[in-house]
Structures are given as structure tokens and as C-alpha cells.
Structure 1
């Protein structure tokens, strides 16, 4: 289950279509960030976690709102906190 464009636009409170393509790409980037933090290569695993959807939506919103100059360290720390209970500790 991936996040729909409509759900993401509601979360962002965007009611115009100009940024639709950008938002779709940001959802994909956010999923990749969250999967990297969880150390999984399967998107289905990401959405099985209790905070998976929340983490993806937060990351996509952060990237959308800070697209001029995003502070990725801050984003990663927040996503790690959201996903810490489910994060795989293997190296």
C-alpha cells in the first residue's frame, strides 16, 4: 500500500494540481528514505510497521515544504525516531 496523491495532497493541504508530479516524486523519495532507515528493500514491509505511513507522509511533507533548502540531518533524526521501534539493528 503506497500513499495516494490525493491523500498526500490532503496532508499537505494542497488544493491545486500544479505540483502533482513533484508530490508523486517526493512520495517515492520519502519511501526510499524510510526504507533505508528501516534497512529493508521491500516497500510492503515499510507499510506493515505501525508508523510506516506516518513516516513517509512526514518525510514527503518535509521535502515539499523545504524544497529550496532541506536540512536532511534533521529529517533523518525525526524519521529514525518515528521508526525506531521497528528499525532493524543488523549491520
Structure 2
């Protein structure tokens, strides 16, 4: 849903040293966002709303910047707020 290049720009990372780590954070963030939305991101068929992309970028930035001290409850609370309008009632 988001590219490594765009995510690195969001994070302001210039080198390729942590590309694998950032890619793993992108996959994790997408899984978290899917869980909150209660549907797969692939349902967007290429037209992902900007707030959903921003939620993924936000999650990646929290995973990247706070990887040793991440407050997952805080992260999911913010993501639920960002994604509320797009969230399905149930899976």
C-alpha cells in the first residue's frame, strides 16, 4: 500500500542501511491497519485513501523511532482514531 521510497521520505531516511528493517515495519504496520479496519487493504484495489496511507506511515514511524520503548496501546488508539471513518463493523 505504501512504497519503501515514500516511507523513507516520511521517515527522512536517506541511506539504504535499514531498508530491510523499514520493509518489515511496513508489513507490520499494514497488518495492524488491516486489523483495525477489519478488512484487507487489497480491497482498496490501488486507490488507498490518504488517511489510510498516513496511518501506515504513522505506524511505521512509531515502530521505527520507538522500537525499544513502543507503547502499543497508544499506537492502536491513535490508529483507531485515524481510521474510524473507514473501519468496518466486523470482519
Normalized against structure 2, the TM-score is what?
Answer: 0.88
For structure 1, the 5+ residue unaligned runs are none
Rounded Cα–Cα distance in structure 1 between residues aligned with 2:65 and 2:88: 29
Q: Which has the higher contact order (CA 8 A, sep 6+)?
A: 2
- How is 1:8-19 mapped onto 2 (pairs within 5 angstroms)? 8-19=7-18
SS of the counterpart of 1:48? coil
Quote the offset at 1:18 in angstroms: 1.1
- How is 1:70-89 mapped onto 2 (pairs within 5 angstroms)? 70-89=70-89
Contact 1:35 1:43 in 2 (8 A): no
Please list every run of at least 4 consecutive aligned residues from structure 1 whose deviation after the TM superposition is greater than 6 angstroms: none
Aligned Cα root-mean-square deviation (Å) = 1.8
Quote the offset at 1:50 in angstroms: 4.3
Normalized against structure 1, the TM-score is what?
Answer: 0.88
Contact 1:26 1:63 in 2 (8 A): yes
Q: How many residues align?
A: 90
Quote the offset at 1:72 in angstroms: 0.4
**2:37 equivalent to 1:38:** yes
